[in-house]
Amino acid sequence: MLYLASQSPRRRELLEQIGVSYKVVRVNVDETWHPAESPEDYVRRIAKAKAGAGKELHPEQPVLGADTSVVLENKPCGKPRDRQDGLEMLLALSGRDHRVLSGVCLIHEMLHYRLSESHVRFRRISRNEAAAYWDTGEPVDKAGAYAIQGLAALFIRHISGSYSGIMGLPLYETGEILAEAGLGSVRLGPADANPMGTVAPEKAPIQARGEKFGYSK
């Protein structure tokens, strides 16, 4: 049984969308960004920390962890601390392009990791619009203070990349690491020697293949 080290309802919905069975494991990870690390390193560290924390609780089972960060001017925005912080985030994104990084980490017998990078362009939004949006409650627990699958769709002029990655779990990359770890995934159509269109392992142009993973029980 796959364990999902996340309480995010968006990630649960996305896993269900591709027919993956799972159980949720609650983990507590410090998500403080270290100013010396790049946004890519930050997302990787947090995704690995979540999966690792879940693995310590369920050492015999595969555990999936993920992290999503809205990046503006090469700094992760994170989740808003309060209303004022949320409004400042939304107004900073107004009329500009930003990146969304989603890292997904699977720990089974090895550690498997993928990073999805997407680009999002906001239209200009007024302070009144930002305040009205905040007051709906939708931005409160979202990276960058917005949810692409919700009312914030009204602010978004253009995206390039992974819609599911912007939501919080890049499904293409998730499917890749599940298949790579031998856990399988949904196949559409007859099976072949190269399921899900992935490249043979020795030729796969991936960012992080299986790594030995150690943890303390």
Catalytic positions are 67
Q: Which residues of 172-211 are buried (b: 16+ CB within 10 A; e: fewer)?
A: ebbbbbbbbbeeebeeeeeeeeeebeeeeeeeeebeeebe
* Residue 79 CA, distance from chain mean position: 13
